[in-house]
Structure 1
Amino acid sequence: MIIRENKVKVEEYSEEFMMKSLDKEYTPEEIIFFDLEHYVYKKPKCIGVFGACEYDKKNNNILVTQYMIEDRDEATHILYLAKEYFIKMKQKGKKAIITFSGNNDFSVINYLFKENNIYYNFSEEFDSIDIQKEYEKNKKLSIGLKKLEKVFDIVREGEVISGSNLAKTFHKVMKDKSYFKRMPEEKIEKILLYNEQDVINLYYIYVNWKKYIYEDIIEEAIAEDEVEDLENLEEEYDIQENSLNNNSN
């Protein structure tokens, strides 16, 4: 099991820009920012990476905690580590969990807890705020995390990894006991950085919500993405057309 704890320096936040949900406004010190990388095939198979972070107001740091399985034998151990983490956070006074499309993560972890006879009731311990749902309520539009990061001028470190590629990786980890040992260190670091960026960026979005959620900003960012997608399609079409012309000659 890889257990990693990291500190990331951040600027002091301003309360005037923080998100307010359902007449409840939590300070960052009261929140857990949470994200899982998991493998699901028909039903949840495992949590590959558990990622969560909290804000340390005294030192203006984000404290990131990550667990990553190295073989199928650790698929149960990571669940106990996750439960211990949430118990510890509750004891520290945390009141809410922030996610993005959190229904997926909670469905997976609750299913695996039940399968392994681990009792933990998230709804009894914490309020839950899903940033994707908050955006949809506000703008009547759906959006992915990476596009929302662009709206918030967040420059993501490292590569974006698709959920399907992560699922394939952890399928192999579960199937082949020696697979993880053969994985390049660079690939492991990419996965951990990707997950770390997810939870850290949830913090940035939460504390800057009211600074960026204006209709003109949203529409401009989405329009830029649509133009970029259109340009890519046109470029592909030109390449194909040139190829056909060359072949005919």
Structure 2
Amino acid sequence: MIVEEKYIHVNGINNKECLEKNGNNEIYKKALFFDLEHYIYKKPVCIGVFGCAYYDEALRKIKITQYMIENKSDALRILDLAKEYFYKAKNELDKEYIVTFSGNNDFTIINYLFEKNNINIKVNEYFESIDLQKEYEKIAGKVIGLKNLEKIFNISRESELISGATLAKTFYRVIKDDDYFSRMPDEKKTKILRYNGQDVISLFYMLISWSRYAHKLGE
């Protein structure tokens, strides 16, 4: 399994620009930013990449953690690491929210796999969920994709786009062929990790600049 951890410096945060819930405009301090890449065949089969981040207020940095599957035996290990990550976030880091984009899909997948493997946690019940796609829909009255919302927020992706079908085929091969990952070019592995990491980072930056761009959301 590939385990990646990195920090990204955050220049400054204006609380007045942050997404507000129930009068709280400091949600980012108590939030996780979460995104999965996965493989489904009729039912969820495995998590390909687990990506999650939080804002470290003391360091003024985002800490991003990613787990990427290398073979079939890693499928359960990723779930165990995800469980440990969520427990630590809740009980040691005092996180209360989980921010996603169209998160019901990811929650359905990870909760199904947790239950299947007797891991007693439902992520969207363990944390209060904030779905930025739904927050946009409240303002605009229509659904938008993440990449189009990034354009509204002037977020320039540093990663190449990858289709869900391409990711699914990749993780299918990883599950079926124990040696496939070792044959995969390093550039492809890096591309997938960067793609997932960019999704997570975008969630953070959209949350902390929500009101700055709110006037554009309904256009």
The match for 1:142 is: 143
The match for 1:101 is: 102
The match for 1:224 is: none
Mapped partners of 1:89, 1:10: distance in 2: 20
The match for 1:55 is: 55
Measured against aligned partners, the alpha-carbon deviations of 1:126-174 in whole angstroms (never above 9, x if no partner) come to: 1000000110011101100000000000000020111111111000100
SS in 1 for 2:156: coil
The structure with more radius of gyration: 1
Matched residue type, 2:32: I
The match for 2:19 is: 19
Matched, 1:113 2:96: no
The match for 1:71 is: 71
Q: How does 1:157-172 map to 2 (within 5 A)?
A: 157-172=158-173
Residue 104 of structure 1 deviates from its aligned partner by 0.4
Mapped partners of 2:21, 2:137: distance in 1: 13
Mapped partners of 1:15, 1:26: distance in 2: 6
Unaligned runs of 5+ in 2: none
Query: Which range moves more in the overlay, 17-26 or 115-124?
Result: 17-26
Mapped partners of 1:26, 1:36: distance in 2: 25
Matched, 1:176 2:177: yes
The match for 1:132 is: 133
Mapped partners of 2:33, 2:88: distance in 1: 14
Mapped partners of 1:27, 1:114: distance in 2: 29
Check the 8 A contact 1:51/1:64 in 2, yes or no: yes
Residue 122 of structure 1 deviates from its aligned partner by 2.6
Matched residue type, 2:98: I
Measured against aligned partners, the alpha-carbon deviations of 1:15-50 in whole angstroms (never above 9, x if no partner) come to: 101112355544312000000000112110100000
Mapped partners of 2:125, 2:147: distance in 1: 31
Aligned residues: percent identity?
A: 52
Matched residue type, 1:79: L
Residue 59 of structure 1 deviates from its aligned partner by 2.0
SS in 2 for 1:97: strand
- Relative to the length of structure 2, the TM-score reads 0.96
Matched, 1:82 2:82: yes
Unaligned runs of 5+ in 1: 220-249
Query: Which range moves more in the overlay, 175-184 or 8-17?
Result: 8-17
Measured against aligned partners, the alpha-carbon deviations of 1:157-211 in whole angstroms (never above 9, x if no partner) come to: 0201111111110001001110000000000000000111000110000000000
- Relative to the length of structure 1, the TM-score reads 0.84
Check the 8 A contact 1:158/1:190 in 2, yes or no: yes
The match for 1:241 is: none
The match for 2:208 is: 207
Query: Which range moves more in the overlay, 51-60 or 176-185?
Result: 51-60
Matched residue type, 1:43: K
The match for 1:247 is: none
SS in 2 for 1:174: helix
Residue 81 of structure 1 deviates from its aligned partner by 0.4
Check the 8 A contact 1:10/1:61 in 2, yes or no: yes
- Structure 1 ranges of 4+ moved more than 6 A: none
Check the 8 A contact 1:18/1:209 in 2, yes or no: yes
For the aligned residues, what is the CA RMSD?
Answer: 1.3
